[in-house]
Structure 1
Amino acid sequence: MTAAQRVNVWVRKVPSWAVYILGAMIPVWYFWLAVSGQMGVEPINALERALGLLAMQTLVVVLAVTPLRRWTGISLVSHRRALGLLAFFYVCCHLAVWLLLDVQDPGRAWADIVKRPYITIGMAGFVLLLPLAATSNDRALRKLGPVRWRRVHTLTYVICVLGAVHYVMVQKVWEIEPLVYLALVLALVATRLPRLRRRAAA
C-alpha cells in the first residue's frame, strides 16, 4: 500500500460529523482568545483578521482537493462538502465580527461596502457563497441534476479569487503572505481552466 493509499484510508475513517465539530470549534477558540486578552491590544481587529484568514485557508484547501488527488493520489473528496460549508461558516463569523463588534452600525457598514473597494469585493464573494451553501446537500443535487449543480459550484473559483484579492487589499501595506495566497489561488484556478473549457464546449 502506497503512502497516498494509507492517507486515503485514514481520511475515509474520519466521519464528516467530526470534521464539522472540530472545524466549528476553531472560531470558538479564537473568540475565547480574544475575550481572555490573548489577542493583543486590539482583540476585535485581531479576531476579525484571524477568522478571515481561516476562511481563506479553508477555501484554498477546497480549491486544492481535485489537484491534490490528481497529482498525489491523496483524496479529500469525502470531506469536500464539509470543508466548503466550514469555509462559509468562517466567512459568516468574519462578517459577524466586522458588523456586530467592529462597525456596530448598519448604516456605516453599508456605506463602507459601497465606498471601500476591498469591502465591496469581500461582500461580493460572500454573496456568491450563498447559493453554494444553499445547494451543498443531496436534495439540491437531485433537484438541479449533476450538470447544473456543477455549473453552480464553479462559482468556487470566482469566490476564491475574490477572497484572495480582498485579503491583499485589506492590508495597509504590501505584504508577502496575502500575495502568496493570491498566487496560490490563481495557480489552482489555472489548473482547472482546461477542464472547464472542455465542459463548456460539451
Structure 2
Amino acid sequence: MQKLNQIIRRIPVWLVYLLGALPAPWLFYQGLTGGLGVDPIEALEHRYGELALQLLIVVLAISPLRNFIGLNLIKFRRALGVLTFTYVALHLLVWLVLDVQIPSQIWADIVKRPYVTVGMAAFLLMIPLAITSNNLSVRKLGPRWRSLQRLVFPAAILGGLHYVMLAKGFQIEPLVYLSLIIGLLLLRVPVSGLLTRFRSADSA
C-alpha cells in the first residue's frame, strides 16, 4: 500500500479536475445529437445527478479507505467535492432551464413534490461547502471549517433519498446508492462510542 500511495502522491490534482469534468460536455453533446435516447433532457438530468452521487460516494469513501486499508486519497478530496457540487448544479440547471422552465411551476414542484424538496435541501446544504472549498476559507474559519464540512453527511443522505424517491417503481440501483452512503457514514462512527451508547441504553 505504501508503494501505491507513493504513486498517488505523484498524480497532480488538476488531472482529477480534468478527468472529472470531461463527462459534463460529452453528455451534453450526446443530448444534442440524439445519443441519450428519445427523452434527452430527462436522460441528461439523470446522468448528471447519478454522476454527482457517484462522486459523493467516492468522497465519503476516502477516510474509511485510509483508516481501514491505508490507501491515502486525501489530496484529491477537495477536488472531488468541487466536482460533486458541479454535477449537482448541472443536474439542477437541466431541471430548471430545460425541463420545467416556468418559474411558478419550479416553486410549486419544490413545495408539493417531496423528492424535489429533499433534493433541493441537499443542494442548499452543499452550497456553503462549495463556497468554502478554498485555502482562504480554511485559514479564515480555522476549526469551524472542519465543522462546516460535516454538512456533507446530511447532504449525502438527502441526495441518496432523493434518488430513491425519484425512482419509478421498485428499483435496486437507487437503494444500492443510499445503502453505500449510509454504510460509509456508519464506518465513521467509532465502535467504542457505539458500545458505550448501547450500554447506556441498556442500563437506562
Q: Normalising by structure 1, what TM-score?
A: 0.92
How many pairs are equivalent? 193
Range 102-111 or range 58-67, more displaced: 102-111
In structure 2, the partner of 1:5 is 2
Instruction: Report 1:186-197 matches (<5 A).
Output: 186-194=182-190
Partner of residue 177, structure 2: 181
1:19-73 deviations in Å (ceiling 9; x for gaps): 1122111111111111111111111100100000000000000001000111221
Deviation at 1:181, TM superposition (A): 0.9
- Pair 1:170 & 2:166 matched: yes
Pairwise CA distance, 1:138: 0.9
Aligned-partner SS, 1:173: coil
Q: Please name the residue that 2:144 is paired with.
A: 148
Matched, 1:100 2:123: no
1:161 equivalent among 143, 157, 166: 157
Trace 1:124-139 onto structure 2 (pairs within 5 A). Answer: 124-139=121-136
Cα-to-partner distance string for 1:126-185 (whole Å, 9 max, x where unaligned): 00001001111111111111x211110011111110000001000111100110111111
TM-score (structure 2 length as normaliser): 0.91
Structure 2 match to 1:37: 34
Larger-gyration structure (1/2)? 2
- In the TM superposition, residue 78 of structure 1 has moved relative to its aligned partner by 0.5
TM-aligned CA deviation for residue 187 of structure 1? 0.9
Query: Which of 80, 83, 86 is the equivalent residue of 1:83?
Result: 80
Moved over 4 A (4+): none
- Report percent identity of matched pairs: 52
Q: Which runs of 5+ in 1 are unaligned?
A: none
**Structure 2 portions without partners, runs of 5+:** 195-204
Q: What is the SS of the residue equivalent to 2:38?
A: coil
Task: Give secondary structure in 1 for the equivalent of 2:169.
Answer: coil
Corresponding residue SS for 1:40 = coil
Distance apart, 1:10 and its partner CA: 2.4
Matched AA of 2:148: V
Matched AA of 1:177: E
